[in-house]
Amino acid sequence: MTGPAHAADAIVVGGGPAGLSAALYLARYNRSVLVFDSGHGRSTHHQTNHNYLGFPNGIATVELRELARRQLEPYEQVRIVHHTINEVSGNGDIGFTVKAQGGSWHGKVIVLATGVLDHFPHFEGWEEYVGRSMFWCITCDGYENRGKRILVVGHTDAAAGEAMQLHGLTDQVQLLLNSNSNDISPKFAARLAAAGIPVIDDRIDKVEGQDGQMTAVFTKGGRRLPLDALFSIQGANPETKLAHQLGIDFAPSGYIAVDTEQKTSVAGVYAAGDVTALHSHQVTAAVHEGAQAASAANYFLYPPELKAD
């Protein structure tokens, strides 16, 4: 059932930078907002972001989330709900209903900021290394690892390409397939060989390290690979379950298709952040897209007499 506490002008699914940015903008348009934060996602890792303007020493993504939530506190019309939404229905004419184990909620518009699911190599205690010495993004963390020993993990041309790019920052790069298959094309294999980047056909068994800092990877084949940083290039999947339920159009990449205002193919539905594009998974992009989605959603909510079109 829905009631006053279970209804709002806008529903935002996702409590990362994109979702919190959307909530802030909607609040400043004096819209009531329900933000659903499952407590998971990239911005919950130990990552320090050095690319977001205004933080000379960088800022931990978990701290950025906390600052954003504190920024939302004065807006009484914003509520953050700690539930994982597993079902959504509706359209731009009747509004949208979302459901979780804890109940159901209704909004006139919805912003999907559901992010992606990264495929990190799994070994005992792997989570403590994410964002500290196990990374996924050269844009975010390549600079801090100049001249260091880097192990790239992946079995595709994307992994080979990342290894080549990281080779521009250090001459100590190795590539570990960590898979039963090797999908690196002959073209990229030749490039790796020409750059002197070893390709190791083996899988991770366990790691050596403490306090989030890896010092070596042990493979199932008995190798010990010393390292300072691991870059996992095993891919990620956009979290699009809810988008599929709404019948939204997708790009060929499998990510949600949006226009320049973050509008999806379904009226009243907007998407922002990593779930909208295969590339440019950056906090800066997520914050911008959240703001743009909120502005477009706010305009959608205006009655016809207040619209210029």
Out of 185, 212, 232, a domain closes at 232
Cα atoms found within 13 Å of the Cα of residue 141, Cβ hemisphere only: 22
User: What confidence score (pLDDT) does residue 197 get?
Assistant: 98
Q: What total number of domains does the chain contain?
A: 2
Which residues in the chain show pLDDT less than 50? Answer: 1
Q: Are residues 174 and 212 in the same domain?
A: yes
User: What confidence score (pLDDT) does residue 3 get?
Assistant: 58
Out of 232, 263, 284, a domain closes at 232
Which 3 state secondary structure label does DSSP give 138? helix
Q: Are residues 79 and 220 in the same domain?
A: no
Contact present, 247 and 266 (Cβ < 8 Å): yes
Each residue of 260-296: pLDDT tens digit?
999 999 999 999 999 999 888 999 999 999 999 999 9
Q: Are residues 299 and 268 in the same domain?
A: yes
User: What confidence score (pLDDT) does residue 1 get?
Assistant: 40
User: What confidence score (pLDDT) does residue 308 get?
Assistant: 86
**Domain containing residue 184:** 120-232
List, in order, residues 6 or more apart from 292 with CB less than 8 Å away.
Answer: 260, 261, 262, 272
Out of 172, 206, 232, a domain closes at 232
Q: What is the CATH number of the domain that holds 15?
A: 3.50.50.60
Least Cα distance to 106 among 10, 236, 249 occurs for: 10
Least Cα distance to 90 among 5, 3, 11, 4 occurs for: 11
Is the full-model pTM beyond 0.75?
yes
Q: Are residues 84 and 133 in the same domain?
A: no
Q: Are residues 108 and 144 in the same domain?
A: no
Q: Are residues 108 and 50 in the same domain?
A: yes
How far, in Å, CA of 152 to CA of 163, rounded?
Answer: 6
Give, as one character, the DSSP assignment of residue 94: T
Contact present, 191 and 206 (Cβ < 8 Å): no
Q: How far is CA 28 from the centre of its chain?
A: 25
Q: Are residues 93 and 187 in the same domain?
A: no
Q: Are residues 176 and 107 in the same domain?
A: no
Q: Are residues 248 and 224 in the same domain?
A: no
